[in-house]
Structure 1
Amino acid sequence: MRDWERAVASATAVATSLGLRTDDAVVLHRSNRLTLRLSPCDVLARVAPVGHGAARFEVGLALRLAATGSPVAALDPRVAPDVHERDGFEVTLWTHHAGPPEVPAPEYADALARLHLGMRALDLPTPHFTDRVDQARRLVADPDRTPELAAPDRTLLTDTLDELEQAITGRRAPDQLLHGEPHPGNLLATERGPLFVDLETCCRGPVEFDLAHAPDEVAAHYPDADPDLLRLCRLLVLAMITTWRWDRDDRFPDGRRVGTAWLDRLRTERVQSRRNGP
């Protein structure tokens, strides 16, 4: 049995043991963690290997943010809000929401601003966004982990990560708790309004780092965003997500093709960026 099949079996067993009827499991997303919809109990299950380390942090953060009224998805109210371990996997159970696939830009920006407001009320240790940049830098520097990355592309990514990190931190913008990856795939349209999911990437940094993950039109509706800082953050995020696509263990669908396209885009945007600054 493959690892993801074992993960599905663990999630199904956990839900059943907690009294939730589970006749079917549909894989919604498969990367470093598996996201499933369990039916007919209609639960969203997130599954990761024991030791992944993010599940307990994510559950605790979701509960604290919910208490501030922040727009985050809720754990399933029928079971204890906890991390359930079974057969080498950590399973968390969340409320499943069905809704339209896209959130309009004004609502997206409002939800992100309210999330940031709620996050400012919390005080907890989290990595800085520069720690995530360093993770990308180490990946690029390790040919064993990125064996298909050509030398010129390796140099492009390294130089971009170094220069953009320095340019962003040099602006000394205020840091705060961030979602880390509030892209459209992590925002649900629900009857309660837009709700953010996948809090494991939480970090500290300027709000523009979060905005850089959202569609361009969202920034126009976000209050007091710095357009120059946002431009730098968008380019840095592009370099980071391009790096992830060249990880030998990356499970992003059609990841190599996407990674090649993003390298081409990065080259073009670097030329344009140098005309405007770093």
Structure 2
Amino acid sequence: MEASDLRRAVEAGRVTASALGLQVDDAIVINNSDRIAVRLAPCDVLTRVAPASHLAGSQFEVEVARRLSEVDGPVAELEPRVEPQVYSRDGFVVSLWTYYEPMGSEITPADYSDALVRHHAALRRIELAAPHFTDRVAGALREVGDREQTPALSDLDREFLGDTLSRLSSEIGGSGAGEQLLHGEPHPGNLLNTRRGPLFVDLATCCSGPVEFDLAHAPEEVGKLYPGADQDLIHRCRALMWALFTTWRWRRDDQLPDREYWRVEGLNKVRAALDGQGLD
């Protein structure tokens, strides 16, 4: 978020928590992108604040977290002292979560893989209407095809991303692999190392598809340790994942830090993923 919006968003999170009876003397921004994560002290609550246009996504994330907590999924929990819902204030939507003090050690590939196995098992135990991973690809294809939304994307790169997204989506969707509910983006930034063990966050990306789509977001060694995973399908999914990631970076209103770097590096990652597996 821009500085002016950031100040208002932090205040919306702070005031919302205070109005719910939580003591808030300090607010520390932990992450700032299209939405922000703020640690509130001394109540030790993590609040996620997004523009009001993100209401549906925030409500979906809260519902996913609530259901997974009920079946002991390895996910960050909603703040238990308030109602599990999304609150609206000053043009923003606010959700409140348990804050977990980060551990200093890294999550090993074995623990990462085990966390995904348990997460996928928990997802199989809940019923939830979620988009298919190909719906996400369709959204990216619309962005690639809309010059107003991706004005800086060159014609050559536009054609490359469009062809890659379309081809890989069809190949993966027609692979015959079993499908289930997924996290959607379980990359290292969305897995916390806590005293409770590894916990997944940012659940708004939940979708359905093969588990290999999730494994493509994790370090390569994690997929090798995941029982029964199709390694060739993981490689295809990884190329698709980079194509999706790169498309979002070329959006006119994208707010990811270092966007300009990732626009170029993302295209390089897509080509490397394709070339490395003979897919290009």
For Structure 1 versus Structure 2, the TM-score category normalised by the shorter chain is: over 0.9
CA shift for structure 1 position 4: 2.0
Q: CA separation in 1, counterparts of 2:102 and 2:12?
A: 27
Out of 233, 237, 245, the position equivalent to 2:241 is 237
Residues paired across the two proteins, number: 276
Percent identity of paired positions between Structure 1 and Structure 2: 51
Select the residue among 24, 27, 48 that pairs with 2:26.
24
**Structure 1 residue corresponding to 2:256, chosen from 252, 257, 263:** 252
1:1-278 aligned at under 5 Å gives the runs 2-52=4-54, 53-100=56-103, 102-273=106-277, 275=278, 277=279
Question: Which contiguous aligned blocks of 4+ residues in structure 1 show a shift greater than 3 angstroms?
Answer: none
> In structure 2, what residue type is equivalent to 1:50?
A
Which secondary structure state, in structure 2, belongs to the residue aligned with residue 244 of structure 1? helix
Q: Which runs of 5+ in 1 are unaligned?
A: none
The Cα RMSD (Å) is 1.4
Alpha-carbon distance, 1:27 to partner: 1.4
For the structure 1 residues 152 and 46, does the alpha-carbon distance in structure 2 shift closer, same or farther, using more than 3 Å as the test? same
Separation in 2, partners of 1:112, 1:60: 19
How far, CA to CA, are the matches of 2:132 and 2:201 in structure 1? 20
In structure 1, C-alpha distance between the alignment counterparts of 2:109 and 2:272, rounded to whole Å:
26
1:220 counterpart SS class? helix
- TM-score w.r.t. length of structure 1: 0.95
TM-score scaled by structure 2?
Answer: 0.94
Partner of 2:37, secondary structure, is strand
SS of 2:49's equivalent in the other structure is strand
Equivalent AA in structure 1 for residue 239 of structure 2:
L
Work out the CA distance in 2 between the residues paired with 1:111 and 1:266: 27
Structure 2's unaligned 5+ residue stretches are none
Amino acid at match of 1:95: T
